[in-house]
A and B are shown apart, each in its own frame.
Chain A
């Protein structure tokens, strides 16, 4: 019992025992109440919330709740079986919570700490530096689903619709569309190797790999799009492209910007690790285990290239809109998530480019009431380039 009490005190003293900057701050810290009361989940949440608040960590309570719930096997604190709220935790559980919480103290996003997050009810693996899906984007998918339901389409041999996602990241948009549209097929592209790997892994976890083709592709590189034509004309292009105005990048929270200093102990950074290839697609062992505490695998937090849209946040958007008419069927649609200032900017830009034959048909607000989503439609065949005449025979479709 004596030893157990000492162990508890050590756990409660925050990350100090790992040394580094935290040690001095917490070496004299004492728990609020005398140990040996064994701590339960509710008490632990209060404990870590207080520490996070003291250190200026945003969403102190939410972070604490997610970490504790995760260690107890639930996705949210509210969904935990109530009996677990008041049961004492095991030393192993306490240690896990301690270690995950120390990552939070370094401003690591909760989604990377847990190694997973949900998007429209799908559980997706998360790993830096791949962009973490934002809650607003769930509504982009909702809109696409509504539109697809409303427009009857000619069902070809492979059903449909055929969707291109530009900048797939973790695969959130593509995989949620695939799971809701059983006849659909998706071509998911991204310029980041880590995104390609992670989307592939998430597709396999969700058993959707047979209807998705995941292809490395940089939409800003001229001429690299030709091979996308081999899949035939597409019904939809969907994207949550980098759209932050470059000048706003500095103001982003440390969760997004910060690169933790390499140091001993938890949340280590090895910049080079993520540049290595992710391994064979079938070899889940090699690429799959993201441990926030391991020394390999994390070069800072999110990839800033997934956010930075250039001067007016328009760089990637304009490239997508330039490319889309070459890939879309007549009356095919583009759905984009954008910055609230973009509806006007995009509208103006499209008017300056009548050669693209694209119309901004609708703007939709997000759950905070900000204009966030655009529906742009291709208005018919381009001059001298009928959409149905694709160069060359179509190769056999091989999922990969």
Chain B
């Protein structure tokens, strides 16, 4: 079934979804609800990046659990799995991470958006760039930590050697 019934469903997930993979689910509604303004905090640190390729709803095909019956109050279904397909690339995402259809739809779009980015941009995709940057920062932290450790070691050696020098002097002063 097509996604055309959802006229105003999530606005393009452009600059609001620039968070790494480990995002916390409870932040999702604030980031993705088209009705919520994006706060300065959410935009911080992302102005230097080009926007993630946004998904066009007309290129998406969304599927929910089959046999939903009459729906609404007349049904009580708990299958909230969302299957989202990006027609041009053929990529498909299946999401059953949460107990909320609404959240699964948003999550599926987010995951699909990143997959589409990798699909078209490969090494140049934001996902890969983020990973490389994270790895780089990690290496830098390690290096700094190592340097700090060596400094401390040297200081300790200096202090201990100066102690023993003082000890000799006081012994001499008798």
Are A59 and B77 in contact (CB-based, < 8 A)? yes
Q: How large is the interface on B (under 10, 10 to 19, 20 to 34, 35 or more residues)?
A: 35 or more
Are B98 and A307 touching (Cβ within 8 A)?
no
Complex alpha-carbon distance, A364 and B33, angstroms: 17
Query: Among residues 260 to 314 in chain A, which have CB atoms less than 8 Å away from a CB atom of chain B?
Result: 302, 306-307
Which of A110, A244, A302, A367 is in CB contact (< 8 Å) with B64? A367
Cβ proximity bits A302-346 to B, threshold 8 Å, 1 near / 0 not:
100011000000000000000000000000000001011000000
**For the complex, what is the distance from the CA of A140 to the CA of B140, rounded to whole Å?**
48
The interface-forming segment of A5-13, A209-217, A368-376, A384-392 is A368-376
Judge whether A120 and B29 touch: CB under 8 Å: yes
Asked whether any CB of chain A lies closer than 8 Å to the CB of B113, the reply is no
Q: Judging by beta carbons under 8 Å apart, are A134 and B100 in contact?
A: no
- The yes or no answer to B167 lying at the interface (CB within 8 A) is no
Within 8 A of A (CB), among B33-57: 33-37
Q: Does chain A have a CB within 8 A of B162?
A: no
Asked if B72 and A121 make an inter-chain contact with CB atoms under 8 angstroms apart, the answer reads no
Encoded as 1 (CB less than 8 Å from any A CB) or 0, chain B from 95 to 121 comes to 111111111010000000000000000
Q: Which candidate, A72-80, A88-96, A223-231, is the interface stretch facing chain B? A: A72-80
- Contacting pair A119 B76 (CB below 8 A): no
User: Known: A111-B78, A243-B72, A367-B5. Contact between A145 and B99, CB under 8 A?
Assistant: no
From A117, A146, A252, A255, B99 is in contact (CB under 8 Å) with A117
Residue A136 is within 8 A (CB to CB) of chain B in the complex: yes
Residues of chain A within 8 A (CB-CB) of B169 are none
Chain B contacts for A368, CB-based, 8 A: 64, 68, 71
B74-101: CB near A (< 8 Å → 1, else 0) gives 1111111000000000000001111111
Contact between chains at B29 and A135 (CB < 8 Å): no
Contact of A366 among B33, B62, B71, B97 (CB under 8 A): B71
B73 & A242 in contact (Cβ 8 Å cutoff): yes
**Chain A residue nearest to B96 in the complex (CB):** A78
A134 touches B103 (CB 8 A): no
CB closest residue in chain B, given A252: B74
Residues of B within 8 A of A50 (CB): none
Tell me if A180 is interfacial: C-beta within 8 Å of chain B: yes
Report B162 CB to chain A, min CB distance, Å. Answer: 52
Size bracket, chain A contacts:
35 or more
- A62-B101 in contact given A365-B5, A369-B1 (Cβ < 8 Å): no
A256 in the interface (beta carbon within 8 A): yes
**Contact assessment for A76 and B77 in the assembled complex, using a CB-CB cutoff below 8 Å:** no
A134 touches B97 (CB 8 A): no
Mask of B1-17 contacts with A, CB within 8 angstroms, 1/0: 10001111100000000
Name the A residues within 8 Å of B101 (CB-CB): 135, 138, 367
The answer to whether A121 touches B73, judged by C-beta atoms less than 8 angstroms apart, is no
Nearest A residue to B68 via CB reads A368
B5 adjacent to A135 (CB under 8 Å): no
CA distance A76 to B64 in the complex (A): 16
- Cβ of A135 and Cβ of B77 under 8 Å apart? yes
The distance from the CB of B144 to the nearest CB of chain A, in whole angstroms, is 31
Cβ distance B38 to chain A, nearest Cβ, rounded Å: 12
A43 at the interface (CB under 8 A from B): no
Which A residue's beta carbon lies closest to that of B102?
A138
Complex Cα gap A109–B77 (Å): 9
Residues of B within 8 A of A138 (CB): 100-102
Whether A146 lies near B64 (C-beta < 8 A) is: no
The minimal Cβ–Cβ distance linking A159 to chain B, given in whole angstroms, is 14
Besides the known contacts A77-B96, A255-B76, A367-B62, 18 further A-B residue pairs in the complex with CB atoms under 8 A apart: A59-B79, A109-B76, A117-B99, A121-B25, A134-B73, A135-B101, A142-B33, A145-B33, A146-B8, A149-B34, A180-B30, A248-B74, A307-B73, A307-B74, A340-B71, A366-B71, A366-B72, A372-B71
Chain A to chain B contacts (Cβ below 8 Å), 26 pairs: A59-B77, A59-B78, A59-B79, A63-B78, A77-B96, A118-B100, A120-B102, A132-B76, A135-B77, A135-B101, A136-B71, A138-B102, A142-B33, A142-B35, A145-B34, A145-B35, A146-B34, A180-B30, A242-B73, A256-B74, A302-B76, A365-B6, A367-B5, A367-B105, A368-B68, A368-B71
Show the binding face of A for B, using Cβ within 8 Å: 59, 62-63, 66, 75-79, 109-111, 117-121, 131-132, 134-136, 138-139, 142-143, 145-146, 148-149, 179-180, 240, 242-244, 248, 251-253, 255-256, 302, 306-307, 337, 339-340, 364-370, 372
